[in-house]
Amino acid sequence: MPLTIAPVGREIRILKVLAEEGVRRHLENLGLTTGAEIKVLSASGGSVILLVKNGRLAIDRDLAVKILVA
């Protein structure tokens, strides 16, 4: 399922990132790699706020659609 419809407050795992290579590398530097455990803190408005490791990260909904999670 895309990150935009993931349940808020539950730990989820990233399965695949469908963005172009440069964007994918940038996300990897931020901790959003295949297999990473993340938590969706909020999905309201135009962005999705995530808990990645011990930090918060906000990403645009257009990019969040390209991140597949389980």
The 10s digit of each residue's pLDDT in 55-68 is 999 999 999 999 99
Summarize pLDDT for 17-30 with one digit per residue, the tens.
999 999 999 999 99
pLDDT exceeds cutoff 90 at 44: no
Fold classification of 3-69 is: SH3 type barrels. (2.30.30)
Task: Give me the pLDDT at residue 45, please.
Answer: 85
Residues forming beta bridges with residue 48, ordered by sequence position? 59
Structure tokens at 55: 């930090």
Q: Which residues contact 15 (CB under 8 A, 6 or more apart)?
A: 34, 68, 69, 70
